[in-house]
Structure 1
Amino acid sequence: MSTDVSGMIECRPLARIYGEDDEDAVWHAGIDLFLLNIGNAYDALACLFGVRNSFGFQPLAEDRGLPHDASDGLRAEFDAWSGPPHPYGTTWITWAELAAADWDRTDASGRLRRRAVAGPGSHWAPVWDVMRTLAELHGPDHVRLVVWFV
């Protein structure tokens, strides 16, 4: 049985201007991963999120759940999956965390590097490009990727 990733990039544009505690500094749905055509390569899912991790990667963001302050757009998309098959492995990661990650870290065998399976030159490049652009505009802590699996 295959594993498919779904999710969305979110941004909190007014947090940089007004501060994170301001009532207008809320998260907004940015772009659905479906539009960025990332596929479901299991080595990348393992390295990033710990899903199907037979590779022995130490994942960057595993099982954090849905953010409590998720945007309405993201919640609507996630709630659409409430019937079978139910989503699992829901997690999120900010651009700040991705930018600080050790992309040269390898899997348990020492043969696969994060950079090769999910780095800037991989099929995840469109996601990183969108997140990087939003982070340059709004700050790296105010851009995040939220994913779930079915």
Structure 2
Amino acid sequence: MGVDITGWIECRQFFLLESETTPWQPAISLSLLFHDRNYDAFGCLFGVKNYANFRPVAAERGLPADVSPEVRAEYERWGSEAFGTSWITWAEIKAIDWEEPAGRPDSRIHRYRRAEDGSLIFDGKAGWDKDFAEAVGHSLIEGVLGTRTWPEGQEWEIKDKVYRSERLQRRDARASWEVTFSVMEALARNYGDDGVRMIVWFYW
């Protein structure tokens, strides 16, 4: 069963009305912006499904104490189905070094096939691959849990495939966030870099 993400982008108002309990207001649902089930994107920012072994930027922060009532109400409707709840400001996202490598090689082996000219064509990556597992004694449990890595650059040629242990950089996880980041950046022109934040939670 796969993991998905949902949440909201919030903006901080400059003035608090008497009837309001928090300056934060919901701006747009994350469901309108983020449509990928991209575990590298999840792991890079929030440490969820972090098979790539990034140092998470904003893991397990929980729901902000001053979250807007609308976002809190939606979050509470998820009940125990929600996990990995966290948040991150646009200022923090802007400060990320997207060239930073992951702490360890990817727990998923990267698979390539050879073209007629001998070059390698990327064919996917997975925590467990039958042919690779049989060749190196990699168990299904290790693959599912992402508990094993191999030295960076180590390579195996098995049947008609090439398998390689690789280390990702944060930039490899950024593409899925581009629409979300563009919206946050635009909102920050009015509300400031610290006045725009993304609140997320995950579900199976």
The correspondence for 1:113, drawn from 169, 185, 191, is: 169
The correspondence for 1:57, drawn from 50, 54, 63, is: 54
CA shift, 1:123, in A, is 2.1
Task: Tell me if structure 1 keeps the 8 A contact 2:41–2:176.
Answer: no
Residue 32 (structure 2) aligns with: 35
Residue 77 of structure 1 aligns to which amino acid in structure 2? E
Aligned length: 140
Q: Distance in 2 between matches of 1:4 and 1:96?
A: 24
TM-score normalised by structure 1 residue count: 0.86
The correspondence for 1:78, drawn from 75, 80, 85, is: 75
- Are residue 131 (structure 1) and residue 201 (structure 2) matched? no
CA shift, 1:34, in A, is 0.7
- Are residue 94 (structure 1) and residue 89 (structure 2) matched? yes
Q: Distance in 1 between matches of 2:185 and 2:51?
A: 29
CA shift, 1:22, in A, is 8.3
Task: Tell me if structure 2 keeps the 8 A contact 1:91–1:148.
Answer: yes
Q: Which runs of 4+ in 1 moved over 4 A?
A: 21-25
CA shift, 1:60, in A, is 0.9
Residue 45 (structure 1) aligns with: 42
CA shift, 1:38, in A, is 3.0
Q: Distance in 1 between matches of 2:167 and 2:17?
A: 46
Q: Distance in 1 between matches of 2:192 and 2:13?
A: 8
Report the secondary structure of 1:123's partner residue.
helix
Where structure 1 has 5 or more consecutive residues not aligned to the other structure, the ranges are none
More strand by share: 2
Where structure 2 has 5 or more consecutive residues not aligned to the other structure, the ranges are 106-165
Residue 65 of structure 2 aligns to which amino acid in structure 1? H
Report the secondary structure of 2:176's partner residue.
coil
Q: Distance in 1 between matches of 2:192 and 2:88?
A: 14
Q: Provide the alpha-carbon RMSD of the alignment.
A: 1.8
CA shift, 1:89, in A, is 0.6
CA shift, 1:46, in A, is 0.6
